Amino acid sequence: MNHELLDRDGALVVVLSGDVDLDSSPEARRVLLDAVARGRRVLVDLAGVTYIDSSGVASLVESLQGARKAGTDLALVSVSEAALRVLQLARLDRVFTIHATLDEGLAAG
């Protein structure tokens, strides 16, 4: 898994790519929680994520809760069909705000 942090239109964009699995999700969790701790709106771009397992989704959930507690927002953008199915299975598609594209996510802020 790789990650990149972008500063775009007042939002912090966390770009994840590759496989987010049991081996790499601790790093994803650290990156996401660090981003949330900055107190700004966070967009998590999943366009380059080839696979995300439950530990990766759990990291997203924990980060979302962290953002809510901090009074900020975290949304997902460019969620693949496979990742969306995993979110839907646990009905998390009703919990996360999901934008089709990064531009859409930025515009929603």
| Paired residues of 18 in beta bridges | 49
How far is residue 28's CA from residue 21's CA, in Å, rounded to a whole number?
9
Minimum CB separation from another protein for residue 108, in Å? 25
Any residues with CB less than 8 A from the CB of 103 and at least 6 apart, and which?
none
Residue whose pair of structure tokens reads 């981003």 in the numeric block: 35
Q: Which of 25, 31, 76, 99 binds another protein (CB under 8 A)?
A: 25
Minimum CB separation from another protein for residue 14, in Å? 17
Q: Which of 50, 88, 97, 101 binds another protein (CB under 8 A)?
A: 88
- Give the per-residue contact string, 40-79, with another protein (x = CB under 8 A; - = no): -------------xxx-xxx-xx-----------------
Any residues with CB less than 8 A from the CB of 62 and at least 6 apart, and which?
29, 32, 33
Residues near another protein (CB under 8 A): 22, 25-26, 29, 53-55, 57-59, 61-62, 81-82, 85-86, 88-92
